[in-house]
């Protein structure tokens, strides 16, 4: 492969990777936040927002609770799950 063709291929791969990263991050927005409804499963929320940035769980007897957070460019979506279903959600914007 010539040097020029290699550089063009490399540039194409870098651009494609950048677009994929931007597309993934763009899932964290107010439109998708509004799609999340009480009673949705964790998997339904993950299908909308992608994998959370952080997630913490606790269980007490038959009850389990999870708080998951998604962040991107100053926007944070937090969702609290009770027994695997959305109970509360919050959207904050960094000032």
Rg of the chain on CA atoms, in Å: 18
Q: How confident is the model at residue 95 (pLDDT cuts 50, 70, 90)?
A: confident
- Identify the architecture of domain 3-93 in CATH: 2-Layer Sandwich (3.30)
Region 56-60 average pLDDT: 96
- List phi, psi (to 5°) of 33: -60, -45
Domain boundaries along the sequence of the chain = 3-93
Q: How confident is the model at residue 26 (pLDDT cuts 50, 70, 90)?
A: confident
Dist CA 72 CA 53 (whole Å): 9
Flag whether pLDDT at 18 surpasses 50.
no
Concatenating the DSSP letter of every residue in 10-56 gives HHHHHHHHHHHHHHHHTTSSHHHHHH--TT-BHHHHHHHH-S-SEEE
Q: How confident is the model at residue 67 (pLDDT cuts 50, 70, 90)?
A: very high
User: What pLDDT does 16 receive?
Assistant: 54
Distance set, CA 37 to CA 29, 34, 58, 67 (Å): 15, 8, 22, 15
């Amino acid at each position: 492969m010539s040097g020029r063709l290699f550089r063009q291929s490399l540039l194409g791969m870098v651009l494609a990777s950048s677009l994929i990263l931007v597309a993934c991050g763009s899932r964290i927005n107010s439109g998708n936040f509004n799609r999340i409804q009480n009673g949705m499963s964790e998997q339904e929320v993950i299908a909308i927002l992608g994998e959370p940035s952080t997630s913490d769980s606790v269980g007490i007897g038959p009850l389990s609770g999870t708080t998951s957070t998604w962040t991107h460019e100053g926007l944070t979506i937090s969702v609290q799950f009770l027994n695997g279903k959305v109970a509360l959600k919050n959207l904050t914007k960094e000032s």
